Every structure is written in structure tokens, then in C-alpha cells.
Amino acid sequence: MAEAHQAVAFQFTVTPDGVDFRLSREALKHIYLSGINSWKKRLIRIKNGILRGVYPGSPTSWLVVVMATVGFSYCKVDISLGLVCCIQRYLPERCGPYQTPQTRALLSMAIFSTGVWVTGIFLFRQTLKLLLSYHGWMFEMHGKTSRFTKIWAICVRLLSSQRPMLYSFQTSLPKLPVPSVPATIHRYLESVRPLLEDKEYYRMETLAKEFQDKTAPRLQKYLILKSWWATNYVSDWWEEYVYLRGRSPLMVNSNYYVMDLVLIKNTDVQAARLGNAVHAMIMYRRKLDREDIKPVMALGIVPMCCYQMERMFNTTRIPGKETDVLQHLAESRHVAVYHKGRFFKVWLYEGSRLLKPRDLELQFQRILDDPSPPQPGEEKLAALTAGGRVEWAQARQTFFSSGKNKASLDAIERAAFFVALDEESHCYSPDDEASLSLYGKALLHGNCYNRWFDKSFTLISFKNGVLGLNTEHAWADAPVIGHLWEFVLGTDTFHLGYTETGHCMGEPNLMLAPPQRLQWDIPKQCQAVIDSSYQVAKVLADDVELYCFQFLPFGKGLIKKCRTSPDAFVQIALQLAHFRDKGKFCLTYEASMTRMFREGRTETVRSCTSESTAFVQAMMKGSHMKADLQDLFRKASEKHQNMYRLAMTGAGIDRHLFCLYLVSKYLGVSSPFLAEVLSEPWRLSTSQIPQSQIHMFDPNQHPKHLAAGGGFGPVADDGYGVSYMIAGENTIFFHVSSKFSSSETNAQRFGNHIRQALLDIADLFQVPKANN
């Protein structure tokens, strides 16, 4: 087979005359080029590490300082105030290359200049960290910026104006602060007040007071100690205990999906679309490795933490009996592909050269044309990643720890990412409302065995050329994968392009070795475990009701005319919709980011507030004047925006209580208050999907280049999961999930309530709406 000849550099046979070696020059050439490529990457990482370590300094700035020192010295001006002479006295007199007085003087000035340069870098970073610790700008009214904030913004711009690399600001970001216990308890009680009857609230207030006075001070000391020692006092525990220690299936419960552009199609050729997308992803990975990606900046001036991007590629979640681990490799030169029950390994490089889109299209088309059947047990093998984590860990140890099974599993787990070639077609048709929901269901769980749910992400390609992602959650949050996805879609459409027949540009290299089929030896016992995991996953997938829709009457543009933030507008509409749906309020989770701090991830905004419930109740009564309703809405909106800002600036509620709870468990301290808080169900879990993180095109010139965002499964069995993307000025996409098994929920019914709530709130402000 052709791939076998590529796999070895030489062959030998034993003859009567001795051993006959037959060298493969082509194979040796590929090995040599691969080695050269690996060394290039090492050198790039070393160079980037140095440049990142001295930012905003650079070799050029160091040379300028040295030349200035030498220049002043020749002009008989000692800017070192005697330090150069002091350094010169301590240099050995009669050894090495600095025996002459001139050489000793130059070396002393170089040492002094280096010290000045390093000191300048240190002072710059500390000054920038101090400036970035100021968050008052977030709490100022739009258009009413204070003079202090304007001066602060100028200083930040000046200190961050040098062309930064991706991770240049990491060490300048402040640490996430630990809130005070009284402040957290106060905000917690305020958040549950609209949800509890008086008697129940007073009981909770008593528990909170007892915790604050007796247990919390000891726990807080340990937490403050951790915040001094660790880079972030939350993130490592959040990753371990919320994600990696979870024993329930990843599918639906943890993984989330991302959709393609839904209003345009670049090509109907499945292999061609995939060729462009995979090529764009590896281009992005190359930029990531070289740190050529611009840091994400809030308002264009405040840097966001980018550490989550490090594990975007070459990462797999490895199952364990008690806890999983994230395996991240520095390099991977292939992707793993699934098609019709078979697994393949596709090389991304030929020697040191990245395969062009047309070559990748050829490789994927070869897989599509391959008529070979699956091996016994191979077709539903990936169901192991969709079922329980303990069962998968046991099966992995028992059946995949040696031989060809281990080699093939390694090929999947060590891949850059996973690719699923589906045989069905999905797309969004505005005339068929159900089409978007079916598309979302296919991305969320597929048929339960055609996604490798452990990989950092699975790139899904449908038969009609439509793409999507299924993403594992432990390694990063949605904005990070969204950054990659925007780059891929923009590169595919505006840079790579297609021929008139829908194929990738260029001519394919027909001499490329075909994709390598992975080999398995799966015994009957393992097949039984696979089938058991599949049955668990199928019950879970069949129970998910997903309703996705495009809200067309208006978007961000007209919401702003209400003089409120679009996010607050949608969140208050969700409260109104939920009350109409269930006749009661519930604890509501909205995810916000804490990436203004080093290694920050997320914080919870408790969107159900006393102000929002007052507005909803007034709307339900129907007897209030429009002016009164507007006033109640504005109060609810201002409250929500303030809570969101507090969460983003490290003054949230839930991450602090979560960490206090973990400390109590480590110390063996019982806290009825923390136990009750951490067991409260989130019956409405929401998230806004970011967009336009990368400005690769003008949305005004290309209004149809819209992705529909993505979604996730319901967090509570009797609750809803809602994600939404405010897609430009004129539309909003919603993804609503629930479970069929709950008699209290219905995703489509709730979606219709959301529609009506948005329209009713817009009517309060007499906002004109577009026709459906």
C-alpha cells in the first residue's frame, strides 16, 4: 500500500549473501523536512518567548539605550551617575576578551544599559497592571466619560501602542480579586429576594449571617492566601471540579455547538468546503504558534487574557475513573476523520509544506469515495465518548492500552482536531422554520457516535457543504472558539475562494499518498460496552428538544433607540417570557467573562432581580401606564447592566461562594449555607454569543454573511437553556433547549413567548419594527 511505503524510511531482507538494505529516499526526505520544520517551530517559540518576556522592550530598544549611554560617555557626560565606573571596578582585570580599558568600559556601559532597559520594562509592566486594575470606566454612562477616565485611556493607549504579540500583555494583567465576604453575602441575598417567600428568605438570611460571622472568616483567609500564590484563585478549581470531575456524559450536558453562515453558501461540494476550512484552521494554528494574532481588546484599548487559546488545537480530554485530564501536545501533523463508521488519519503536511486546500479536498474526496465497510465494533466506537465517563475510562484501560487499538486511539487523541464527514444534509431555510432546529440537533449530538466528544472540537461537514462545530467545554469558553470560527469563515469566503464548479482553487497533487485507514481489533466484550454507552447517549439525545429561530422584526440597531444595552433588553424579555411560560420566576444564570484578569474565564450574572420581577409583574397586570412601565424597565435594565459590570470586574457572587465551598470541603468544615447555595438549580441558563471579534470584512457591505451562533443543552431537567446572538443591526438568533421528559417545559412554546416578549417591550418605546 502507498501509505505503508511512506511510513518507513528503509526496508531490509535477509539473503544468503547477507542483509540487503533498501533505503527510501523519498521517506528519508520527508523525515528530514519534518525535522527541519520541528526545529524551526522550536526556534520560533524561543524567539517569541524572548520578545514576549521583554515587551514592550525589544532588541532595537536595548540597542538604542546602549548607544545612548556610549554616546553620552564620549561626550564626557556620565548619565549613569558613577554606576558605569563602579561596574568596571568589579570586572576581572586579566581574563577573557576585556583586557583593554576601552573594552572594559564598553562592557560596563552595556551592563548598565541592560539594567536600565530591564528596569524600564519592569516599571512599564507594573504601571500598566496598575492602570488595568482601574474599572471605573465600565460604570460611567455612555457619552459621559469623566476626565479621569479620559486621561486613563490615553495612558493605556500609550503604554500598549507597541505592536504586541498574542500573549504580550499576559504578565501585565491584574489578578482576579477576592471579594469581601459581607459584600458577596449581601449581593447573594439581594439576588434571591424576589424568588423566596418572606419566611423562606428570613431563614436563608439567618443561615447567611451565621456563615458570615462564624465559618467564612477562616475560609476567606485560605482563599486570600491562594489568590496571592496562584495566578487565578478560581480557574484551576473551576476547570477541575465543574468540568473534569463531572462523571455524566459530555454530550448535551457539557459540549456545545457552533453554526455556519446560514444566509449564504459558498459551495455545495462537501470535500471542497472542508478542504478550505481545514486549511484555514491550520493557518490559524500557525499564527497561534507564532503569536501573530492580535490580542483581543475591550473597546480597542483594554487587553483580554488569551491563555485559553493555548489548548485550542492538539488537545483531547482523557477519561479517568474519578477525574479526567486534558492532554495537550505541542505539535500534531494530522487530523482524524470519521465517515460511514470508519476512521481515517489524514496528514496535513507533505514534508514541511502545509497541504493546499485543493490537496486537502482530494484527500477528503478519497475518503468519501472509499467503499470499504467498517470493521467489527468500529462504527459506533465514538459512542464511548458520548456515554458515562467511568465506563469509558474502564473500557479505555481494558481494551485500548496496547496493540493496534492503542495505536489507532493515539492517532485520534493526538490529532490536531477531529473531522466528521456526515452523509446527511442540513442548512437553514427561512421558509422552513424547523430546518435551523434540525441543524442544531445534528451539531449538538449527531447520531451519538459520529462525533468524538473528547476532542477540543469536532469539525462537522454535511453532505451539502454546510459546516459546524461541536466543542468540548473544559479547555475554553465559547468566545475563544468563536475567534477561530470567525477567522475560518472569513478566510474561506474572502481569501481562499472556489472555482466556478465549486472546487478549491488550484490543481491537486495526485501523487499524495491516500488517507490511512485506522485498524481496530475490538472484542465482543468491548462491543457490548460500546452498545451500552450508545444506549445511554441515545436516550439523552432523544430527550433533548431544541428550538432555534431567527427573530426578524428588529435587532441591535432599534434596541439602542430604547436607550438600553441590547443584552439587558434580551435578558428582561427572557424574564417576561419565562413568567408567561411557567407562571413563576426562577434562578437565572447568565455567563459573563472575567478575561480582564489573568487566566480569567467566566462569572455568573443572576439576571432575575427585584427590578426585573417588578417590571414583569407590572406587564402581567396590564393596568400600568406606559410611562410607568418604561420607568420600571429602565430601572431593571440599569440594575442588570450594573450586575454585569460587577461580574466582569471580579465582584460577582457565585465563583466566590464556589471557592469558599471547596475550601470548606478541604478543611472538613460543614456549612449548611454553602451546601444549600451550591445545590440551587439553574432552571433558566442563558448566554450571549459574541461576534465580530475579528474584523475581516465590513458587515454593512456583506449583510448576509451572518453565522447563527450556537447553543447548548438544558442545565436542569425541568429548565431551559437559551443562547442568543444579536447578529448585527436587524436580527437576533435564538437557540432554546429543554427536555421532552419534563412536563413543565416546551422549547418551542418558550421560544414563542420570547418572540412576543421582545415585541411587547419594543411597543412600550414605540420602536418601529420591520415586517416579518
Residues marked as catalytic = 473
Please report the DSSP string for 133-145 in residue order.
T--GGGGSPTT--
Count CA atoms closer than 13 A to 258's CA, side-chain side.
26
Q: 3-class DSSP state for residue 659?
A: helix
Pick the closest to residue 400 from 384, 417, 388, 416 (CA basis).
384
Give the span between the Cα atoms of 530 and 5, in whole angstroms.
33
Give the span between the Cα atoms of 667 and 677, in whole angstroms.
19
Pick the closest to residue 593 from 306, 225, 310 (CA basis).
306
For residue 162, the tally of other CB atoms under 10 A from its CB is 13
Pick the closest to residue 715 from 738, 746, 689, 733 (CA basis).
738
Return all residues near 356 (Cβ < 8 A) that are at least 6 apart.
Answer: 279, 504, 506
Please answer whether residues 302 and 596 qualify as being in contact, where contact means their C-beta atoms are separated by less than 8 angstroms: yes
Pick the closest to residue 234 from 246, 223, 243, 249 (CA basis).
223
Instruction: Give me the phi and psi of 481, to 5 degrees please.
Output: -70, -30
Instruction: Give me the phi and psi of 254, to 5 degrees please.
Output: -130, -50
Give the span between the Cα atoms of 456 and 311, in whole angstroms.
8
Count CA atoms closer than 13 A to 217's CA, side-chain side.
4
Q: Cis omega (within 30 of 0) on the bond before 690?
A: no
CA distances from 61 to 112, 121, 622 (A): 14, 11, 68
Grid look-up 481515517 returns 344
CA geometry: angle 291, 293, 297, nearest 5 deg: 120
Q: 3-class DSSP state for residue 203?
A: helix
Grid look-up 556601559 returns 109
Would you give the DSSP letter of residue 504?
Answer: B
Residue 4 burial by Cβ neighbours in a 10 Å radius (0-12, 13-18, 19+): exposed
